[in-house]
Homo-oligomer: A and B are copies of this chain.
Amino acid sequence: MRRIIPLLLTFVTFTASAQMLGFSKDSAANERALESQFDSKINRDNLAAWSKRLSARPHHIGAPYDADNAEFLLSLYKSWGYDAHIETFDVLFPTPKTRVVEMTAPAKYTLKLEEPALPEDATSNQKSEQLPTYNAYSIDGDVTGDLVYVNYGVPADYDELAKNGVDVKGKIVIARYGGSWRGIKPKVAAEHGAVGCIIYSDPKDDGYYLGDVYPKGAFRNEWGAQRGSVLDMPTYPGDPLTPGVGATADAKRLDRKDAQTLTKIPVLPISYGDALPLLRALGGNVVPPSWRGALPVTYHFGPGPARVHMNLQFDWKMVTIRDVIAKLAGTDRADEWIVRGNHHDAWVNGAEDPISGQVAMLESARAIGELAKSGWKPRRTLIFCSWDGEEEGLLGSTEWVETHSDELKQHAAVYINTDTNSRGFLESAGSHTLERFVTQVARDVDDPETHVSVLDRLRARDLVNAHDADSRKELRDRELIRLSALGSGSDYTPFLQHDGIASMNIGFGGEGEGGSYHSIYDSYDHFTRFIDPGFVYGETMAKTTGRMMLRLADADVLPFEVTTLAKTVERYAKELVQLADSMRADREELNRQVRENTTALASDPTEHEAAPVAKPAVPFVEFAPLHNAVSRLLKSAEAVDRAVASAPASKQAEIDHALMHLESVLTRSEGLPLRPWFKHQIYAPGYYTGYGVKTLPGVREAIEQEKWQDANDQIAILAKVLDNYSNALDRAAAAAR
């Protein structure tokens, strides 16, 4: 390690500011003392020991070691003074009985579908306990077809295929990981008539292109494959048989054939070692540059001459999953809950995913438990949740939230999620009412590599990465971190998007090296060599999220800032106008080029590309109701923030009550079009991105999909939701006066 240059005096630091949202000056001083006591209790040796323990054997749902881990976690929470229990659900969980993929023409090749044990990785040889490489919730299927390469397999890729005259109907597609959440690939492939789907890890995105491969380096090796769920989570997450309700023992269950979220075609992940012979055997046009990976072949579309047979059969069994729930009761605000979660199940050993986040959460819970034993008590109730079944589709969190929806809507103020953790920079996403809160916490946590605050380090990275002077100016002028909006991909989804509870997702990353994701190589050996040696950032994560819990527990008033949300919504609304405008301009240009024959003249006649056809013009969308609602929102938000800041102590409990229910006003019981489970009207995972967020999703997806009447209708709905929110803000402001 090189020496770190100490901070120069001229560095503009935000650490100097002592403000703490939700706290009076005196309470802030007390809180600061408490947090400093908390920091002193964090011990990274605990993280190392628990990581080794929890990742010692494969612990996917249904595995003996998954249950064993749950019991171990329960015993830890109890030993620290928490009121803890295990809550179980029974969920559908298919595991493979038959996995055959073979190329039958132009040459014969039977895929290995196997990650080899490595002497350098102590747990990689636990073959009898490991789940094989597969995609959970693929349907059974025995199919044969010519192969087509579809790049990332997202909708735009099928436009490119059509342009090249390639139809996937009756074919098997091979898509590379990346560009979308994996479950989108078989979904879109099936929509286009494919009969099977193979997903492989291209070394460009996940292999030697990025760095040396395991075990020499950290990255995915020739035979590593990415397991993962392909449940249609953008429709609804959780157990596919119990949408909207908890998968308790006595729950009413769908028949499996009626479950909407299983795939429509069989799908299997493979390694790039297995993909190479298939891709090498493809013919047809050469794909465009953005489709090319890093395998030493010329990438072609197909179809064929490569012909593939795949036979996948699963054991569609029910298994029991185990959420570990640990409570520390609050004092005068006990009916306000601060919920914290990280899953404990893994695809295999999962030292990074999820144990790195789990052990940081555990250490913060332990330290908070110690504080509680030594006299301090949280004003609000703290609940720590070690979820099971996240990997298969947020099963543990979704079923728990669905089971406890009524209580949660009444009591839950904030949910803080973490998942994997790595070395580097703070990554934060969530409800924008929490943007100032997150910024202030980041200001108060030290970065272990540079010894400035994690906020200052993050700002430095963003400045260095900013690509123009305008972005740098914005970064320098803006006091706050920009929280990313939450799509999906971890356990915050049921809290935020189903129940409308203000939520955050927190992690560190950007410097750890990884290619072990969802493989047998996500091990203690790999993690401690490449991801976070010494659990240095695990400690930082424990300090960051622990501090969040303490601050949320003890604040005079819940630290929400509504103006930030209002300005963010204004920004999203502007994006939508720009989106429609640029689609309109692009469409006009396309139609002009079709009319004037430009594209045909510019194209190479030997390449047999389909000539583009004119498409319907993009109409002007009725944005006025949205602009009016945003305009009102901005005023109401400023008024409520001002009122809360100057409210007398006697009003604080009432203010809290108003604030904690605000996020739910952004939901709508009917949910989003085509997916009623998703209630939130500001944030949702994209229907065709899977994890990637769509903000103002009802309107945005209508525009993207060119459903113009829907766009106008959704604007009216969204404007109504925002007006309701402004009404709620006005009531809260009145209560605070």
Binding site for B on A (CB under 8 A): 1-2, 4-5, 7-8, 10-12, 203, 208-213, 217, 219, 286, 292, 294-298, 424, 449-450, 452, 456-457, 460-461, 463-465, 469, 472, 511, 585, 589, 593, 595-606, 608, 611
Contacts and interface: CB of A to CB of B under 8 A. Distances in A.
B2 A596 contact: no
Contacts of A1: 605-606
B456 A601 contact: yes
A599 B460 CA distance: 7
Given A203-B296, A452-B601, 17 more contacts: A1-B606, A5-B600, A8-B595, A11-B597, A208-B297, A210-B286, A211-B286, A212-B298, A219-B298, A295-B296, A449-B605, A457-B602, A460-B597, A461-B601, A463-B598, A464-B598, A464-B602
Contacts of A11: 596-597
Interface of chain A, main secondary structure: loop
Contacts of A5: 597, 600, 611
A149 to B, nearest CB: 15
A596 B450 contact: no
A585 B470 CA distance: 12
A457 to B, nearest CB: 5
A10 B595 contact: yes
B593 A464 contact: yes
A47 to B, nearest CB: 19
B296 A605 contact: no
A461 B601 CA distance: 7
Nearest to A456: B601
A456 B600 CA distance: 12
B457 A601 contact: yes
Contacts of A601: 450, 452, 456-457, 460-461
A602 to B, nearest CB: 4
B460 A598 contact: yes
A649 to B, nearest CB: 40
Contacts of A297: 208
A298 B463 contact: no
A457 B213 CA distance: 48
A296 to B, nearest CB: 4
Contacts of A605: 1-2, 4, 449-450
B298 A213 contact: yes
Given A296-B295, A298-B213, A461 B8 contact: no
A608 B4 CA distance: 11
Nearest to A1: B605
Nearest to A300: B212
A603 B511 CA distance: 9
B596 A12 contact: yes
